[in-house]
């Protein structure tokens, strides 16, 4: 999932560089959402890993 976040971030940066504002903002929004989902899943994984190991 982090891979897709980075892909959308790169697409947003390239689109912004070439002046495609709508595509850049949409890609940046998708990247933000995917990153937030990644962080939540990562934290859940850490919590369950800690509870399982204890």
Give me the pLDDT at residue 33, please.
92
Name the token pair of 28: 């940046």
Q: How many CB atoms lie under 10 A from the CB of residue 27? A: 21
Give me the pLDDT at residue 54, please.
66
Give me the pLDDT at residue 9, please.
86
Q: Residue 45 and residue 54: Cα distance in Å, rounded?
A: 14
Cα distance from N-terminal residue to C-terminal residue, the chain: 28
HEC-encoded secondary structure of 32-44: HHHHHHHHHHHHH
Instruction: Check pLDDT > 80 for residue 1.
Output: no
């Amino acid at each position: 999932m982090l891979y897709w976040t980075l892909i959308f971030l790169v697409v947003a940066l390239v689109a912004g560089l070439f002046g495609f504002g709508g595509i850049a903002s949409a890609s940046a929004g998708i990247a933000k959402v995917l990153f937030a989902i990644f962080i939540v899943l990562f934290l859940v994984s850490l919590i369950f890993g800690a509870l399982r190991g204890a």
